[in-house]
Amino acid sequence: MADSQTAVPLADFSAAMTSGQTFQLLGRPAKHTVLFFYPKDNTPGCTTENMAFRDAYGQFQAAGVEIYGISRDSIRSHENFKAKLGLPFELISDPDETVCSLFNVMKMKQMYGKTVRGVERSTFIVDAQGRLVKEWRGVKVATHVDEVLEFVKNQVL
């Protein structure tokens, strides 16, 4: 796992996101960025996770950290999901799994007794130079945003 002592450089990438914008890893205005990958818009766990990041958004902003959610959903799905939840951050669309592959979040998992290929809920913190500072994989929604916020407050500020 990466940490602030051993930041790992990431390959630059760009991807379409909500509000008609394009995300560029090395073109971000924030000092640090939270990239959280989630399986699908409008599902219970993903809705809860997005709302938790929404509710803590002001605290992340105060620390100079920007948040982006990423899934394989379309821009249209993302725009509807963002509006429905009142999300203050942008959602990145990755239907061809390019960004998911860069972060190695596509996994085989069990769903309703069947093995399916899908996004493993994961979160990454990237510094201003595009280096991976911290990662969480196989995230459990309940306390995850609090863990990320605690890391940001203790390590980033």
Predicted pLDDT of residue 157: 59
Q: What is the reported pTM?
A: 0.92
The Cα 127–Cα 106 span in angstroms is: 23
The Cα 107–Cα 152 span in angstroms is: 27
The Cα 59–Cα 73 span in angstroms is: 27
**What's domain 8-12+30-156's superfamily in CATH?**
Glutaredoxin (3.40.30.10)
Q: Domain map of the chain by residue range?
A: 8-12+30-156
| Lookup result for tokens 């996101």 | 17
User: How confident is the model over 30-88, as pLDDT tens digits?
Assistant: 689 999 999 999 999 999 999 999 999 999 999 999 999 999 999 999 999 999 999 99
Cite the active site residues.
Answer: 46
User: How confident is the model over 4-30, as pLDDT tens digits?
Assistant: 456 899 999 999 999 999 999 998 876
User: How confident is the model over 77-133, as pLDDT tens digits?
Assistant: 999 999 999 999 999 999 999 999 999 999 988 877 888 889 999 999 999 899 999
Alpha helices in the chain (DSSP H): 44-55, 57-62, 75-85, 98-102, 141-151
